[in-house]
Amino acid sequence: MRDEMVLAVLAAGLVGFIVMVVWLVYELRKGNVEGAPALFGTWVALSVLSVLFVLVAAFVIDNALFFFFGNVAAGIGLILTAAAVFVTPIIWAFVIRHRARRKGAEAR
């Protein structure tokens, strides 16, 4: 069961990343944001680094949960890890888009 949960975490991260790439490409093609390629690169770098940090922290926490509380707690921890991995690129996309639009509005 634990292996399937780990695969679900990785799949959630991949789906979240693909959804955000499609959404950001759509936003960039509309031309609402100046410096779009730099923003896209920033988003990719921040997303990858954040997801790696979340996965390393989750590895330690999930193993501690498994050791102290058993399979059920570790499974819940993996579900929460999948949610965090899925949401991380989305949060960074909103933060970067908001800051870029605010900078664009200030420049006008």
Q: How many domains does the chain have?
A: 1
pLDDT at 101: 75
**17-31, 45-59, 65-79: least confidently modelled range:** 17-31
Phi, psi of 49 (to 5 degrees): -65, -40
What is d(CA 18, CA 107) in angstroms, rounded to the nearest whole number? 31
Rounded mean pLDDT of the chain? Answer: 80
Average pLDDT over residues 18-43: 73
What is d(CA 83, CA 108) in angstroms, rounded to the nearest whole number? 38
Q: Of 30-34, 77-81, 101-105, where does the model show the most confidence?
A: 77-81
2 pLDDT band (50/70/90 cuts)?
low
Q: What sections of the chain are H helices per DSSP?
A: 2-30, 36-69, 71-107
Contacts of 84 by beta carbon, 8 Å cutoff, 6+ apart: 54, 58
Q: Structural domain of residue 92, as residue ranges?
A: 2-107
